[in-house]
Amino acid sequence: MAELLIHGGRRLSGRVDVEGNKNAALPLLAACLLTTETCEIRNVPHIRDVAVMIDLLQSLGATVEGRGTSTLRVTCRDIRSSEPDPKLVGKLRGSVLLLGALLGRQKRAVIAPPGGDFPARRSIATHLRALVGLGARIVDTPAGHAIEAPDGLAGASMYLVEASVTGTETALLAAAQASGPTEIRNAACEPHVAELCRFLAAMGVGVEGTGTSTIRIAPPGRLTGATHVLRGDYIEAASWAVVAAVTGGEVEVTGVHEQDLEPIAAVLAELHLRFELEDNRFAVFPSSLVGARRITTGLWPGFPSDIVSLVTVLATQAQGGTLVHDWMYELRLFALEQLSAMRADLFLCDPHRIIVTGPTKLRGRTLDSRDIRSGMALIAAALAAEGQSTVLEIETVERGYQDVVERLRALGADVARQED
């Protein structure tokens, strides 16, 4: 494992170009299993999670060209297994997407318990219910999940009890291979779900309702190869904006879409952050931050849980109090308890709510990155702090942020990656 040594107190400045959306790259790679023809995905981020998904596809028999570049060409002509490598599955939450893709292609899928962030707290019940609704049946297995559809999948009308992103994507991947149309209600509306819809449409699938909570799928007789350019990762863009703001710096982030960032920008404005936002540009300027009173996560287009850790760190540098309420995941807020030892004024009300009072001059210390987003938030806190901090297991952050150490250095941060 590696750790990141950070000497804080420097104002960051410069420009960051964001890569494609990680949360879109994974379902699109899974969708390549739906056809025997070659698919091309461009603007792919060079991150650990994408590398694991490539390994999973190759373990199933796929050919992947362009690994290590921003353009991948994936051909799934001969799929030799319906059971992805359990060790790889245990590294990646997004491996659950292979269930829907393999079920339609192989009429069977067996998957170990998916890993990634908070694996014990994140159920795949929504995914399984959607697949059963399409005619699949669950098979008993000693560990993980096994599901089969020996007679193929059939289109259906379904309501998702939870507007799960990966649950919606699983349903879409399976429905694209079913016989007959499917309607999915209470579908997740996030931009990366819309990207999967557009990719499926390019493969020949009839798709209505892209970007809405009701999506209709009309599968073609045969799915073809397709080409897609990933949109810029709005969570990554917001992360770099917060890193700049918490250090009192000035950073321009490019490669973003204004509409994708609106829910986050609205909350940053409540904190009195000065910024300019337009398509392909998100510029942050030194600001006199003020507590936002209350920040609550929500389903899209609400404030995304993925950025709540970083905004909580930003609130430590704002004048007054901010109540942060993340009703979706509790472990992110637990990870931020470490800020108390950095002199942050925090009160953890319960696993979902934390009160932050600022501004506080943080002090460096050793920090433990427990998931991608809270890990990046702790890096931001260390950059704003006096003295030296050590962020352990930096590989966790590298799962979702490309070249994070090199980019921090380019902005003027005093950081060093060190093997433990």
CA 269 to chain centre: 23
For 51, 85, 118, 254, 408, the CA distances from 92, given in Å and listed in that order, are: 10, 11, 11, 28, 25
Asked if residues 124 and 167 have their Cβ atoms less than 8 Å apart, the reply is: yes
- Residues belonging to the active site: 117
**Residue bearing tokens 């509306």:** 189
Would you state the structure tokens that stand for residue 33, as one six-digit string?
């299993």
Helix H, strand E, coil C: the string for the chain is CEEEEEECCCCCEEEEECCECHHHHHHHHHHHHHCCCEEEEECCCCCHHHHHHHHHHHHHCCEEECCCCCEEEEECCCCCCCCCCHHHHCCCHHHHHHHHHHHHHHCEEEECCCCCCCHHHCCCHHHHHHHHHCCCEEECCCCCEEEECCCCCECCEEECCCCCHHHHHHHHHHHCCCECCEEEECCCCCHHHHHHHHHHHHCCCEEECCCCCEEEEECCCCCCCCEEECCECHHHHHHHHHHHHHCCCEEEEECCCHHHHHHHHHHHHHCCCEEEEECCEEEEECCCCECCEEEEECCCCCECHHHHHHHHHHHCCCEEEEEEECCCCCHHHHHHHHHHHHCCEEEEEECCEEEEEECCCCECCEEECCCHHHHHHHHHHHHHCECEEEEECCHHHHCCCCCHHHHHHHCCCEEEEEEC
Q: For residue 34, which amino acid is it? A: L
- Beta bridge partners, 325, equal 296, 353
